[in-house]
A and B are shown apart, each in its own frame.
Chain A
Amino acid sequence: MFTPEEVERYARHIVLRDVGGPGQQKLKAARVLVVGAGGLGSPILQYLAAAGIGTLGIVDDDAVSLSNLQRQVIHATADVGRPKVDSAAEAIARLNPTVTVERHSLRLAPDNAAGLVAAYDVVVDGVDNYPTRFLLADTCERLAKPLVTAGVQEFYGWLTVLKPWEIGPDRLRNPGLRSLMNEPAEGRMRTCAQVGILGVVPGVLGTLAAAEVLKLVIGIGEPLVRRMLTVDLLDMSFDLVDTEADPAAGATP
């Protein structure tokens, strides 16, 4: 049940077709893990908290730096030097104190990934490197947890939803991250620190990622399963690319 304050807070969801009271109850009951409280993680956490996700787990081992603030909008100038999980948790408490925040001030690693992921219903990837992104995707695949995953750099981004344990009506398995790309060799990717990023790019992709989480939790619409959205803010083009798993390819290690 909702308190009178919650009914007022979520009034625009409760009157919204396909969400309503039952949808809002699903949001309240949901446990969502956000890995990375940086550029993508900021709007993801803000919108999921505002929407009334009951429990938000945040994984990040980094501290806020001044050069983060051009795009990592959940943190403020006074937070520079503080752990990102603390800064983000306090911002969420200011925005929506009904949300329970679980702080995981650590780096996702092979010895902790399964324990973290297992405790949540939906996982969101806001990480800034491919080794961690592949570890997260492999873990979610093994534990059958939906993963909303995105990448951003310069003026560009991509977003998709991975549920590779599910078989589609064509009897093909949905693609996982390893169906979309080879794991890049360590150090191959140029980082945002090297090539830069327009501050709003993770805002756009992170907000879209949050929309996918809300759809998955409520069970509405068509999430980006078997589709990848690519965004180019220079020419303001949004392209959808169909993706399939290769049945001949091996399973996730």
Chain B
Amino acid sequence: MLITIKLFASFRDGRFKVATREVADGATVADVLRSLEIDEPEVGMMFVRARHVDVDRVLAAGETLSVFPLVGGG
């Protein structure tokens, strides 16, 4: 199935801003992060359909996953 991935801030380095990717049916957010070589502890926020998701969220065809690194300075 096809999903769209949006990356933000430093996660764009050497990757992309927006991409459509083929993933296996039943793929989770963790599977996508692994395929992008993003370490889970580096992630700050993740959204699907405007809602925060955890790494065990199973993705559905056509969904968009947005991933932000942990940016918390002031």
The reply to whether B68 and A158 contact each other, CB–CB distance below 8 Å, is yes
Q: For residue B14, which residues in chain A have a CB less than 8 angstroms away from its CB?
A: none
Which stretch in A15-23, A32-40, A73-81, A112-120 binds the other chain?
A32-40
A96 within 8 A of B: no
Contact yes or no, B50 A39, CB < 8 A: no
Whether B44 is near chain A, meaning CB under 8 Å from some CB there, is yes
Interface pair B72/A153, CB less than 8 Å apart: yes
B62 at the interface (CB under 8 A from A): no
Whether A158 lies near B71 (C-beta < 8 A) is yes
Contact A230 B73 (CB under 8 A): no
Assess A197 versus B44: contact at CB under 8 Å? Given A239-B8, A246-B51. no
Contacts of A36 on B, CB cut-off 8 Å?
74
Task: Please classify the interface of chain B as helix (H, G, I), strand (E, B), loop, or mixed, using the class held by over half of its residues.
Answer: mixed
Residues of A within 8 A of B71 (CB): 151-154, 156-158
B21 within 8 A of A: no
B9–A232 contact, CB under 8 A? yes
Closest to A185 in B: B41
Known contacts A184-B44, A242-B50, A40 near B74 by CB under 8 Å: yes
Is the CB of A1 closer than 8 A to any CB of chain B? no
Q: Which of A3-11, A139-147, A187-195 lies at the binding interface? A: A187-195
| Size category, A interface | 35 or more
CB B33 to nearest CB in A, in angstroms, measures 14
Task: Kindly state the separation between the CA atoms of A38 and B17 in the bound complex, as whole angstroms.
Answer: 30
**Number of A-B pairs, beta carbon distance below 8 Å:** 92
Number of chain B residues close to chain A: CB under 8 A? 22
Chain A residues whose CB sits within 8 angstroms of the CB of B45 once the complex forms: 158, 180-181, 228
Task: Report the nearest A residue to B45, measured CB to CB.
Answer: A181
**CA separation between A187 and B71, bound complex, in Å?**
13
**Which residues of chain B have C-beta atoms less than 8 A from A190's C-beta?**
70
* Cβ contacts under 8 Å, B17 to chain A: 235, 237
Interfacial chain A residues near B52, Cβ < 8 Å? 175, 179-182, 243, 246
Contact between A125 and B9 (Cβ–Cβ < 8 Å)?
no
Is B10 an interface residue when CB atoms closer than 8 A count as contact?
yes
Interface residues, chain B, with chain A CB atoms under 8 Å away: 8-10, 12, 17, 41, 44-45, 47, 49-52, 54, 66, 68-74
**A–B Cβ pairs within 8 angstroms, 24 of them:** A36-B74, A38-B74, A39-B74, A125-B74, A126-B74, A129-B72, A130-B72, A151-B73, A154-B71, A155-B9, A156-B9, A156-B10, A158-B71, A175-B52, A181-B45, A181-B52, A182-B52, A184-B70, A197-B73, A226-B50, A228-B45, A232-B12, A235-B12, A243-B51
A128-B74, A154-B9, A243-B50 provided; 15 other pairs, C-beta below 8 A? A39-B73, A39-B74, A40-B74, A126-B74, A130-B72, A133-B72, A153-B9, A158-B45, A189-B70, A202-B73, A230-B8, A230-B68, A232-B8, A232-B9, A243-B51
